[in-house]
């Protein structure tokens, strides 16, 4: 039997899911000496106008692993649980595992409604140093959702066609700031580790105990993408 979080929490989980998939948008330009394999640790800060939601937005963190055509994002969402998203740029396959509030769910398809999102992108001349890397500020917006990326051209993780069509961004984001529906999130890299990553990190085999769902079933459970 699934445990369904109340509506405010479904919106919060949907936004967190958005952030995880948005973080898959990573690539480096050809020709430069780039880091093509390694790990990036992020600190995640979150705020909500709803006090009932805000109390759950504590001790969040994220780790991104990348090697060749493959990418993995692990997110610790504090009291809500954990998520893992694994993507393969060569095959186009993506698997998301969510372990939240007693539910173990798996999704390996792209939601159709998410594919319809359209983004405007504006690159600025603002430069910020994050975890020792110079990053350029990029503004992104779609409807009521706005994001600010700080992107470096020194890290070459695979360029993924993610659920949110943000592969138009050139570079790897070491900071993502996002606001949507009374929720605000900031993910900032605290350390970059050029290192070997075992192939087992990128396995898309669904672990025992996880229920495979369609994107529609997932969105229904979460109250709709971005609280819709």
The answer, yes or no, to whether residue 124 has pLDDT greater than 90, is yes
**CA-to-CA distance for 226 and 143, rounded, in angstroms?**
11
Percent pLDDT > 70 in the chain is 73
Q: Determine the pLDDT at residue 178.
A: 84
Going by pLDDT thresholds of 50, 70 and 90, the confidence category of residue 150 is very high
Whose tokens are 């075992």? That residue is 198
- Closest-CA residue to 96 (of 177, 186, 24, 32): 24
Of 125, 188, 192, 203, which is closest to residue 157 (Cα–Cα)? 192
C-alpha separations of 176 from 24, 33, 97, 124, 133 in Å: 12, 24, 22, 15, 15
In the sheet that holds 133-142, the strands lie side by side as 120-130, 133-142, 145-152, 172-180, 183-194, 37-48, 60-67, 70-77, 81-88, 94-100, 103-107, 211-212
Which domains occur in the chain, in start order? 7-219 (2.50.20.10)
pLDDT tens for each residue of 31-90: 445 898 999 999 988 887 777 777 777 788 999 999 988 989 898 988 778 889 898 888
Quick one: tokens of 12? 């919060």
* Whether residue 163 has pLDDT greater than 70: no
């Amino acid at each position: 039997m699934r445990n369904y979080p109340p509506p405010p929490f479904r919106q919060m989980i949907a936004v967190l899911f958005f952030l995880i998939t948005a973080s898959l948008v990573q690539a480096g330009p050809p020709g430069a000496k780039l880091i093509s394999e390694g790990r990036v640790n992020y600190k995640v800060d979150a705020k909500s106008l709803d006090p009932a939601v805000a109390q759950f937005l504590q001790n969040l963190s994220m780790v991104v692993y990348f090697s060749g055509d493959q990418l993995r994002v692990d997110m610790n969402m504090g009291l809500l649980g954990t998520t893992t998203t694994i993507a393969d740029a060569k095959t186009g396959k993506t698997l998301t595992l969510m372990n939240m509030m007693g539910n173990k769910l798996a999704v390996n398809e792209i939601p159709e409604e998410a594919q319809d999102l359209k983004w405007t992108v504006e690159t600025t001349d603002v430069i910020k140093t994050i975890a020792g890397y110079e990053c350029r500020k990029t503004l992104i917006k779609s409807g009521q959702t706005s994001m600010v990326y700080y992107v470096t051209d020194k890290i070459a993780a695979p360029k993924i066609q993610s659920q949110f069509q943000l592969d138009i961004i050139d570079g790897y984001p070491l900071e993502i700031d996002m606001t949507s529906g009374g929720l605000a999130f900031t993910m900032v890299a605290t350390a970059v580790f050029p290192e070997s990553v075992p192939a087992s990190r990128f396995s898309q085999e669904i672990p025992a105990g996880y229920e495979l769902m369609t994107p529609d079933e997932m969105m229904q459970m979460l109250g709709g993408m971005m609280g819709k």
